[in-house]
Amino acid sequence: MDISFIIVQFVSGLTMATLLFLVASGLTLIFGVGNVFNFAHGSFYMLGAYLAYQTVSAWYSNFWVAAFVACLGAGIVGMLAEFLFLRRIYGRAEEGGFQILLTYSFILVIDDIVKIIWGSEYKSILRPSGLRGSAEVLGITIPTYNLAIIGFGLAVVILAWLVLTRTRPGRIARATAIDREMMATMGVNVPLTMTLVFGIATALGGFAGALAAPLRSVTPGAGIEVIIDSLIVVVIGGMGNFWGAWLGSLILGEVIAFAVVIVPEWASVVSYVVMVLVLIFKPEGLFAPRSVGKV
């Protein structure tokens, strides 16, 4: 394996990591702020991919318009799901378990509705014009679209970090994560905050789906694959932790990228092996500042 090959795989791992991070960070955000584990998060990713496909293929629209539609559509559906359903079971005694069931039922419903609308055959869309070529970096050929995705990922990380730490809504969201009741007594509209957080997180997922659509074929099963990978990411990184999600995505993206060439048949198993290793040595994830899940 020569060095240029390693770099190519590394970039492909970074691309995967970025897409994963867009999904996992949303998952983490919802979990951190609302203590809800959204099993259906992958379905919003898938929904985003289909919306992008629809916009590009049916309306011959520009890819970036499509990505925007995907973002908006997934976000709106996400907010509706939170507002109409999830909100009704906050604070129940069996909260944790029933939230999981509810978001699980979202998967079944969203996946099937997508199947009804778009059918179950594979769909694909072209890379956006201007990003179909490759770039030469140190004599190594790398698709420009991958570089663009990585760039977007970085931008989102920085933007999200700025929003969370520097803006008032961001600080409110973080404070709500720590003490919901306190924020409620301080006049913060906690339910609205939750709905918005849900919307932002699902919009991020939808955006990731749109970005991924030109790279992978769009299928109704895409959501489940992504949610399982994101799940591994949050287990590795530590649930509810933004930087943990980032690190976890990076580790998993690279591991898969190299496993695909070293043990092609078993690449998907390798990612679990990483998770098990982390579990053995740090059951609460690599980043676990809060003591979570302790009895």
Residue 262 sits in the site that holds another protein (CB under 8 A): no
Contacts (CB under 8 A) with another protein, residues 111-130:
111-113, 115-116
Residue 158 sits in the site that holds another protein (CB under 8 A): no
Closest distance of CB 220 from another protein, Å: 10
Say if residues 57 and 127 touch (Cβ distance below 8 Å). Answer: no
59 vs 98, beta carbon nearer another protein = 98
10 vs 37, beta carbon nearer another protein = 37
Residue 19 tokens read as 């897409």
- Strand, helix or coil for residue 131: coil
Residue 183 sits in the site that holds another protein (CB under 8 A): no
Q: Tell me the DSSP string of 135-158.
A: EEETTEEEEHHHHHHHHHHHHHHH
Residue 261 sits in the site that holds another protein (CB under 8 A): no
| Span near another protein by CB under 8 A; candidates 44-52, 125-133, 205-213, 264-272 | 264-272
Among 50, 63, 106, 287, binds another protein (CB under 8 A): 106
50 vs 145, beta carbon nearer another protein = 50
Q: How far apart are CA 269 and CA 254, in angstroms?
A: 14
Residue 91 sits in the site that holds another protein (CB under 8 A): no
* Alpha helix (H) residue ranges in 167-241: 168-178, 180-185, 190-212, 222-237
218 vs 233, beta carbon nearer another protein = 233
Residue bearing tokens 């939808």: 206
Say if residues 107 and 42 touch (Cβ distance below 8 Å). Answer: yes
8 vs 102, beta carbon nearer another protein = 102
Closest distance of CB 197 from another protein, Å: 17
Q: How far apart are CA 227 and CA 224, in angstroms?
A: 5
Residue 47 sits in the site that holds another protein (CB under 8 A): no
Residue at 30: amino acid letter: I
37 vs 243, beta carbon nearer another protein = 37
φ and ψ at residue 135, rounded to 5 degrees: -115, 150
Distances in Å between the Cα of 141 and the Cα atoms of 5, 147, 154 are 10, 11, 21
Among 10, 37, 90, 118, binds another protein (CB under 8 A): 37
Terminus-to-terminus CA distance in the chain, angstroms? Answer: 48
Closest distance of CB 233 from another protein, Å: 11
Among 151, 167, 279, 289, binds another protein (CB under 8 A): 279
Residue 276 sits in the site that holds another protein (CB under 8 A): yes
Residue 254 sits in the site that holds another protein (CB under 8 A): no
Q: How far apart are CA 124 and CA 218, in angstroms?
A: 6
Q: How far apart are CA 109 and CA 77, in angstroms?
A: 12
Report the alpha-carbon angle 39-37-288, nearest 5.
Answer: 125
71 vs 194, beta carbon nearer another protein = 194
Residue 110 tokens read as 């969203």
Among 204, 234, 247, 256, binds another protein (CB under 8 A): 234
Residues binding another protein (CB under 8 A): 31, 37, 85, 88-89, 92, 94, 96-98, 100-102, 104-109, 111-113, 115-116, 228, 231-232, 234-235, 239, 265-266, 268-269, 272, 275-276, 279-280, 283-284, 292-295
